[in-house]
Amino acid sequence: MLELQILDYRFQISEVVIDVASHASALKAHRQSLKNRERNRQYRSRLRNALRDIRTAVDGNNLTAAKTALKQTISLIDKMTTKGVIHRNAAGRYKGRLSARLASRSA
């Protein structure tokens, strides 16, 4: 039984791993998966916050702030799609719904 504690100070990952494969490539793959999971979690959190900010701006009739936030959020969604964090159809759905919501309020 192999017990390994992985600490990565860039992402504050601290996790005790039991029964991980003992060869070097499997250990490296496991370290990479932990870093990728943390980075993806941060991207999803940023997306949820951006979506919430746009929705509150549109619901509060603050259309100028909503339009600027929409550009930034679309850029974030596109980055997440190219990195593989979200699926391209989900990205299109997010962008379409946000644009439609903003267009319905501004009309």
DSSP 62-73: -HHHHHHHHHHH
Residues 6+ apart with CB under 8 A from 63: 57, 102, 105, 106
Q: Look up residue 88 and give its amino acid.
A: R
Across 97-107, average pLDDT: 91
Whether the pLDDT of residue 64 is over 60: the answer is yes
Distance of alpha carbon 30 from its chain centroid, rounded?
20
24-59 and 88-106 helices cross at what angle (nearest 10)?
10
In this prediction, residue 1 has a pLDDT band, given cuts at 50, 70 and 90, of: very low
Whether the pLDDT of residue 16 is over 70: the answer is no
Of 1-5, 16-20, 54-58, 102-106, minimum mean pLDDT range? 1-5
CA dihedral 29, 31, 32, 36 (to 10 degrees): 140
Sign of CA dihedral 83, 89, 106, 59: negative
pLDDT digits (tens, 9 = 90+) for 31-56: 999 999 999 999 999 999 999 999 99
- The three-class DSSP label of residue 85 is coil
pTM over 0.75: no
- Confirm if 80 and 91 have CB atoms less than 8 A apart: yes
In this prediction, residue 3 has a pLDDT band, given cuts at 50, 70 and 90, of: low
